[in-house]
Amino acid sequence: MRNSAFLAMGAALLILQSNLFRLIGKLNIPGSTPSLLLPLVVFMGVHEYSIARGAALAFLLGYLLDLFTGAPVGLFTFITVATFVVSRAAGVRLAAQTLLTKIALAFVFGLVEGVLIVILTAIFGGDAARTRALARLVAPHAISTALFAPFVFRLAERVHQATINVPRPGESPR
């Protein structure tokens, strides 16, 4: 139940993100569209979820992001799973409790995501101008992601709390 709820939430966040792209694009600030999926993946990694289920869910969400953005299939899939695993390994569950730490986590992981995109584009892409253009977008993207992170963390916490007492298949309710 929880995985389905997070998958549905991720799909809704992707739809919201694509609409934010249209609204924020009118401001003419390149790279200012936030990644709403990144804070959700960090939330899943920071909280105590099974690594296998979390990585599978991150894989599905990353694949959806690949489809929504028109990116080469596998780019965001790899980055989303890597973000989940790194945030899981960081084990900063207690640090993700305050507003400032949520913003800081989203900013750092936004920078990591941006740098990974630039590196993978430089390695597998053939156009050096595209890599330089993407590198200029990393900082504004990380800042906008950090600003929207508390909203996504709050939504994820609500989904987490709503599904915490739901029995798993094969279990009887207590």
Residues 84-108: tens digit of each pLDDT: 998 888 765 555 678 888 899 899 9
3-state secondary structure of 73: coil
**C-alpha span between 33 and 21 (Å, rounded):** 6
pLDDT of residue 92: 59
**C-alpha span between 56 and 62 (Å, rounded):** 10
**C-alpha span between 44 and 109 (Å, rounded):** 13
The whole-model pTM stands at: 0.84
pLDDT tier for residue 139 given thresholds of 50, 70 and 90: very high
**C-alpha span between 75 and 109 (Å, rounded):** 16
3-state secondary structure of 165: coil
Cβ within 8 Å of residue 68, ≥6 positions away: 14, 17, 18
pLDDT of residue 98: 83
For 54, 74, 136, 173, the CA distances from 158, given in Å and listed in that order, are 18, 30, 35, 21
Provide mean pLDDT across the span 103-125: 89
Provide mean pLDDT across the span 2-13: 91
Provide mean pLDDT across the span 152-158: 92
* CATH number of the 2-162 domain: 1.10.1760
Residue-wise pLDDT tens digits, 20-54: 878 887 777 777 888 999 999 999 888 867 889 99
pLDDT tier for residue 171 given thresholds of 50, 70 and 90: low
pLDDT of residue 95: 57
**C-alpha span between 9 and 109 (Å, rounded):** 20
3-state secondary structure of 72: coil
For the chain, give every domain's residue range. 2-162
Asked if residue 34 lies in contact with residue 20, where contact means CB atoms within 8 angstroms, the answer is: yes
Asked if residue 61 lies in contact with residue 40, where contact means CB atoms within 8 angstroms, the answer is: yes
pLDDT of residue 93: 57
**Residue 60 pLDDT > 90:** yes
